[in-house]
């Protein structure tokens, strides 16, 4: 049941922090203050770690759109590119080619990840990164922590590739392969930003463009095609009913003796009686004697 915003005194207050992030921030501040008594530079190092811990634990409530067959952004970020690409083999997607939407998230982005479609999680692969790579400057860099998730709904697949720095617990996936997820359900966390590549079917209508800012769990990227779509229904009917099928059905009904109502232009005009009698007299004259 949706909340009544009119009854809330602070409807704009939708952000919050994870407890582990707050605890890490307080610990960094305390250690920085203790070490700062010996060297002031150590205090500012602790202060910077405190800010990073708070950013890594920041989240925000989202209003998921009520859209059948919808595809939404799995995270906050900026659309870097939209191109036709084959999905990586780790996603195990059968639909090729696909449209790849590449999203870049800043370290200040919220940390929650949202299911892009309503369906099941078919595949999950997580590759642990190298601690010597603290930041994901480019999506294809070596040593990054990378997660591959494939979602499926009504025989359509959507793949998500998450990449972040290898230092620290940057990604936390809270679901397993085979789980059923509703649209916009939180399936994990990615701390301090990174990259997200989402692979959607090529026939998905594009509703976003490079340079657009996305809101995870809210921004609609497109819609999966279904058998109830008007254009697909017309295509199916055209394939199942070849040209001339309607005329063949009418002929079959007429031959079976069932009621058949021809069009006005199909009915023959009655012959003139005078012409008919003249034809009979001519036939009688030409008839051989003795017959």
Instruction: Return d(Cα 18, Cα 160) in angstroms, integer.
Output: 24
What residues contact 244, with CB distance under 8 A and at least 6 apart?
none
Q: Which pLDDT score is estimated for 131? A: 86
CATH 2.70.70 domain residues, the chain: 62-223
The CATH class given to the 62-223 domain equals mainly beta
Instruction: Return d(Cα 270, Cα 198) in angstroms, integer.
Output: 72
Kindly report, residue by residue over 26-50, the tens digit of the pLDDT. 999 999 999 998 898 999 999 999 9
Instruction: Return d(Cα 232, Cα 37) in angstroms, integer.
Output: 71
Sign of CA dihedral 83, 89, 93, 94: positive
Q: Residue 181: which of 145, 127, 217 has the closest Cα? A: 217
User: Model-level pTM?
Assistant: 0.74
Q: Which pLDDT score is estimated for 113? A: 97
**Is the pLDDT at 266 greater than 90, yes or no?**
no
Residue 202 dihedral angles phi and psi, to the nearest 5°: -65, -25
Instruction: Return d(Cα 93, Cα 269) in angstroms, integer.
Output: 66
Q: Residue 148: which of 87, 94, 76 has the closest Cα? A: 87
Q: Which pLDDT score is estimated for 190? A: 95
């Amino acid at each position: 049941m949706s909340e009544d915003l009119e009854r809330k005194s602070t409807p704009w207050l939708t952000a919050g922090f994870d407890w582990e992030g707050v605890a890490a921030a307080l610990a960094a501040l305390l250690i920085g203050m203790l070490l700062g008594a010996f060297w002031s530079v150590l205090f500012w190092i602790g202060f910077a770690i405190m800010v990073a811990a708070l950013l890594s634990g920041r989240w925000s409530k989202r209003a998921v759109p009520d859209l059948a067959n919808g595809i939404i952004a799995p995270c906050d970020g900026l659309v870097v590119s939209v191109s036709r690409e084959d999905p990586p083999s780790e996603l195990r997607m059968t639909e090729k080619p696909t449209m790849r939407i590449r999203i870049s998230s800043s370290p200040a982005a919220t940390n929650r990840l949202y299911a892009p479609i309503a369906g099941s999680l078919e595949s999950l692969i997580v590759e642990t990164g190298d601690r010597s790579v603290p930041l994901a400057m480019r999506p294809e860099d070596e040593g990054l922590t990378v997660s591959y998730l494939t979602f499926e709904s009504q025989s359509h697949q959507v793949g998500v590739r998450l990449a972040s720095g290898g230092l620290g617990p940057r990604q936390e996936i809270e679901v397993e392969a085979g789980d059923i997820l509703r649209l916009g359900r939180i399936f994990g966390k990615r701390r301090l930003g990174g990259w997200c590549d989402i692979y959607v079917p090529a026939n998905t209508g594009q509703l976003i463009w490079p340079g657009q800012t996305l809101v995870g769990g809210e921004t609609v990227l497109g819609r999966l095609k279904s058998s109830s779509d008007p254009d697909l229904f017309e295509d199916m009917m055209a394939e199942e009913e070849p040209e001339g099928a309607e005329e063949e059905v009418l002929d079959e009904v007429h031959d079976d003796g069932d009621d058949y109502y021809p069009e006005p232009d199909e009915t023959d005009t009655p012959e003139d009686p005078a012409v008919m009698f003249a034809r009979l007299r001519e036939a009688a004259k030409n008839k051989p004697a003795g017959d």
